[in-house]
């Protein structure tokens, strides 16, 4: 069974630009969550989608948005990039039930210059 796939693996963007990251969950998984990992703040929850609906949201500004498609694939968008958005963005999928563990992808390393 294929794992969680995130594309691209690396991105370099300039301040003010926008970026879209993609995540393909494990087959059969209906929930996709996004996390930001930085050396200073550690791993922080961005949002979670279940059956194309945002079910939970973290404390990030509105520049961070996401969506989920009918095939459970998810995209995350960051607009008006800031230097502080440089991070490893991790996507995780699960069956979406209360006792389902999250399975993470390799992440997308975003560098904002």
State the residues that interact with another protein by CB under 8 A: 3, 33, 35, 42-43, 45, 48, 50, 55-56, 58, 88, 90, 92, 96, 98-99, 101-107, 109
Q: CB of residue 16 vs another protein: minimum separation in angstroms?
A: 27
End-to-end CA distance of the chain: 37
Q: CB of residue 108 vs another protein: minimum separation in angstroms?
A: 9
Measure the CA–CA gap between 107 and 70, rounded to whole angstroms: 22
Q: Which residues contact 54 (CB under 8 A, 6 or more apart)?
A: 47, 48, 66
Q: CB of residue 14 vs another protein: minimum separation in angstroms?
A: 23
**Of 92 and 112, which has the nearer Cβ to another protein?**
92
| Biggest CA pair distance of the chain | 40
Radius of gyration of the chain (CA): 13
**Of 54 and 71, which has the nearer Cβ to another protein?**
54
Q: CB of residue 37 vs another protein: minimum separation in angstroms?
A: 8
Measure the CA–CA gap between 82 and 100, rounded to whole angstroms: 34
**Of 28 and 101, which has the nearer Cβ to another protein?**
101
**Of 2 and 14, which has the nearer Cβ to another protein?**
2
């Amino acid at each position: 069974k294929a794992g969680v796939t995130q594309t691209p693996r690396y991105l370099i963007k300039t301040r003010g630009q926008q970026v879209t990251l993609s995540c393909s969950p494990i087959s059969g998984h209906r929930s996709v969550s996004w996390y930001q990992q930085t050396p200073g703040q550690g791993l922080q929850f961005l949002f979670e989608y279940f059956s194309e609906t945002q079910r939970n949201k973290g404390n990030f500004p509105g520049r961070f948005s996401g969506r989920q498609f009918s095939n459970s694939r998810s995209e995350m968008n960051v607009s008006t990039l800031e230097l502080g958005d440089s991070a490893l963005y991790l996507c995780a999928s699960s069956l979406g039930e209360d006792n389902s563990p999250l399975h993470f992808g390799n992440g997308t390393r975003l560098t904002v210059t």
